[in-house]
Structure 1
Amino acid sequence: MINFLLRPLMVGLIAFAFLGYAAFSFASEADHHEEEPEKGEHRGRLLKDGDFVLELAIVEAGVPPEFRVWIMNDGKPVKPEDVSLVVTLTRLGNVIDTINFKPQADFLRGDMEIYEPHSFVVTIKADHQGKKHQWQYDNFEGRTRIESAVAEAMDIQTELAGEATLVETIESFGKIVPQPDAERKISARFEGEITTVHARLGQTVKAGDKLITINSNESLKSFTISSPINGVVTSKAANPGEQSGGRILMSIVDTSKLTAELSVFSVDRKRVAVGAEVTLHVNGQEAALTGRVNAIDAQLNANQASTVRVEINNADSTLSAGQFITGDIEVSRYAVPIAVKRVGLQAFRDFTVVYAKVGDEYEVRMLELGREAGEWVEVLGGLNPGTEYVTDNSFIIKADIEKSGASHDH
């Protein structure tokens, strides 16, 4: 129990220490950071091999991101058709993209889109007039490395992206009431003097238990009224020495089953159907309950909401009529080919991302998102099925990437 209670605190302290270390590292790296690569007139990276100079740029104005290359030799422009060029991008997980180039105007244009993230080892091979030139450099962004022992200590959790069933719900509020047919009102068949009251207010009784003994005015003989059901005495208007007087002497309510009365407003009413599954949260109780909608009132309440009724099993007598309750009513359920947990989502530049994990390395995956329901968010693009991604404590990965100051190099 002590370990269970201390674990969140320990994770928080480790994360705090890690973030402090990250801030220190960033300050240190600021003094020893790599120089910015030399840029050309098209804002691309300049790569030099003697007098042979190649400018490699990612262009994305008005087109999907693509590589374009301009070449100089001895300070003079080289015709693009005179150069054979191949660029290889090696991504995290040893995913390789090979890009070939064709002449266009005064530059060479790559034949494939440079999809996000723009994080890879770049290898360039050029052939001009029988002379070969080669360069290689790292162009990493949104990537970091955290040793497995450190990740475990900080409780960084991962899952595999894949199929999921999204359950869409609407939230509603209400209270617990007895079922409409759960109450029995007790009165005497024959009038007489009440001699004994066997059950007290609030007492739990079983079917057949004695409730009241009455001495008949007509026969002068005593008879006993027994409980017709299992339940609880919810009202008592009988005292020894009183006349029964044809009135209600006692009420018994069966509490083994109760009803949750939930208010649903008209904007959501058409989406709720009889039989829909409902998750119920009772104030003061940790464990959730489940049930199904068994009735929807046709008439609106004064607040213009419809009453939706859900039967609750209360065989263990842990619930009481009058308790306030919250209900999540299922209105739609659908399977999607790939989804991620909402807790893993983070912001990176202008994107919503998760962090893919390959070995001890973590890297952003820019997502195109679809529908959201509960803990899940549908993924329409940017993540392959089966990718291991960070769920809990993804903020730690975000902090470590941000402290490294990795840029988006075009």
Structure 2
Amino acid sequence: MKNNKILSSLSLAMLLNLSLDLVSLPVMASSAPAAEQPEPEKGPHRGRMLRDGDFALELSIFETGVPPEFRVWLTKEGQPIDPKSVDLNVKLTRLGNVVDDINFYVQGDFLRGDMEIYEPHSFVVTIEAKHQGKSYRWQYDNFEGRTIIEQAVAEAMDIQTAIAGPATLHQTIPAYGTLALPVGAQRSVSARFDGEITKLHVGFGEEVKKGQTLLTVESNESLKPYQVKAPSDGVITEQFANAGEQTASRTLLSITDSSQYIAKLAVYPSDYQKVCKGSVVNLQVEGVDRNYQGTISFIEPKVRYDQARIVWVTLPNEKGELTTGSFVRAHIEVATIDVPLAVKRVGLQGFRDFTVVYAKVGEQYEVRMLELGREGGEWVEVLGGLNPGTEYVTENSYILKADIEKSGASHDH
């Protein structure tokens, strides 16, 4: 099996050549194709024929209209024999030394196994039969969806694993919008009494603090100077006057406080009832290399022209990365669900008609066919096909899929 299943030395050599950047060392390793195993003999019921002298049995996995089960037909000297005259037991040794012990009962002209052959159909098969005082025994490998990857290779390829267990699903809906400044973020500065600006203490683009002196003005009435101070922290974003000019009851400066922004997100009618104040929101801002998280603080009472309701999420701007009008992608959390068993979505792969993860036992990996439930964030609920506590592949599971498909392993039916 190892010749068929282990990643080829060529693959390993290429991997190490890339990951260690040993460009000066040519990759010379190669591997010859493994010798193909002859197809096992098939019987009239498309099962595997097992022979010992003139005694033979046909072991078939039958799954038409029933869960997969073993059925066995028996012959001696090429002639059918009464199934009641044979004691039969089959043991299936699965990965991790889990043994399924199957006994048989008579049904018509065959023996029928007493338990379901659950997926994956990957095991060492041991058959023991007794007929007319003589014992017979066969054993063979019936592996599918299984491969071996040495630990050093798995580490070099960054094949990561996790333990299957409980998780919290965070179900979300997508939303999109733009950034805007909060109400009151922009303040207009004017003089209390008309007069001449004798000194401008700040300039366009300068950061100021609340209470900082911005201008000195000499009153036209009292001829005494007084100071105009900043009403808030912020940046001078507009300058309409200079020293020597009259204030003339006009706006002299504008201060913009950009320490916070509002992400205004559109929620459409199908999702109205799922969203409320306090809902957790994860956001990405176009052009900003970080993720934000906030909560909905306000839902506008009117719908937009396209029937969207606009919800507000406040974002801090400590690093000054945010700007008005920037595009925002968001996921609004609409449900939080604790489930007893889940796997990471990144580990899921397709195998035959199943969605699977790859269980890891030592250096062996094997598919686990999953029955899946609800989804949320990075997690998918598992309803069947995987035992809690199973170590399974998360990152780079596609490497396992490619290696198993290369080997072409299949199982008997």
TM-score with structure 1 setting the length: 0.91
Matched, 1:338 2:341: yes
- 2:220 maps to amino acid: N
Q: Which moved more, 1:129-138 or 1:192-201?
A: 192-201
Contact in 2 for aligned 1:276/1:329 (Cα 8 Å)? yes
* Match in the other structure for 2:395: 392
Q: Which moved more, 1:52-61 or 1:240-249?
A: 240-249
Q: 2:80 aligns with which of 59, 67, 77?
A: 77
* Match in the other structure for 1:194: 197
Q: Which moved more, 1:242-251 or 1:386-395?
A: 242-251
Deviations 1:59-112 (A, max 9, x none): 000100000001011222111111111110000000000011000011000010
* Match in the other structure for 1:18: none
Percent identity (aligned): 59
Contact in 1 for aligned 2:175/2:331 (Cα 8 Å)? yes
Matches within 5 A, 1:102-117: 102-117=105-120
Deviation for aligned residue 1:12? 9.4
CA distance in 2, matches of 1:130, 1:87: 18
CA distance in 2, matches of 1:306, 1:195: 50
- 1:336 maps to amino acid: V
* Match in the other structure for 2:33: 28
Q: Which moved more, 1:212-221 or 1:63-72?
A: 212-221
Deviation for aligned residue 1:318? 3.8
Matched, 1:351 2:374: no
* Match in the other structure for 2:145: 142
Deviation for aligned residue 1:122? 0.5
CA distance in 2, matches of 1:261, 1:241: 43
Q: 1:204 aligns with which of 192, 203, 207?
A: 207
Deviation for aligned residue 1:328? 2.0
Contact in 1 for aligned 2:204/2:239 (Cα 8 Å)? yes
Deviation for aligned residue 1:319? 2.9
Contact in 1 for aligned 2:288/2:321 (Cα 8 Å)? no
* Match in the other structure for 1:59: 62
Matched, 1:236 2:239: yes
Matches within 5 A, 1:154-193: 154-193=157-196
Q: 2:306 aligns with which of 303, 308, 311?
A: 303
CA distance in 2, matches of 1:202, 1:300: 36
Matched, 1:367 2:359: no
- 1:125 maps to amino acid: E
* Match in the other structure for 2:380: 377
- 2:259 maps to amino acid: S
RMSD: 2.0
Q: 2:226 aligns with which of 223, 226, 250?
A: 223
* Match in the other structure for 1:153: 156
Deviation for aligned residue 1:247? 2.1
Give the count of matched residue pairs.
392
Contact in 2 for aligned 1:58/1:65 (Cα 8 Å)? yes
Deviation for aligned residue 1:268? 2.2
Deviation for aligned residue 1:14? 6.3
Deviation for aligned residue 1:305? 1.8
* Match in the other structure for 1:251: 254
CA distance in 2, matches of 1:36, 1:200: 87
Deviations 1:182-208 (A, max 9, x none): 332222221222232222222110111
Q: Which moved more, 1:222-231 or 1:319-328?
A: 319-328
**Secondary structure at the counterpart of residue 28 of structure 1:** coil
Deviation for aligned residue 1:323? 2.9
Contact in 2 for aligned 1:11/1:155 (Cα 8 Å)? no
**Secondary structure at the counterpart of residue 154 of structure 2:** helix
Distance change >3 Å, CA 246–CA 398, structure 1 → 2:
same
TM-score with structure 2 setting the length: 0.90
Matched, 1:266 2:269: yes
Distance change >3 Å, CA 400–CA 44, structure 1 → 2:
same
- 2:156 maps to amino acid: A
**Secondary structure at the counterpart of residue 270 of structure 1:** helix
Deviation for aligned residue 1:316? 4.2
Q: Give the unaligned 5+ runs of structure 1.
A: 1-8, 16-20
CA distance in 1, matches of 2:408, 2:325: 56
Q: Which moved more, 1:169-178 or 1:272-281?
A: 169-178
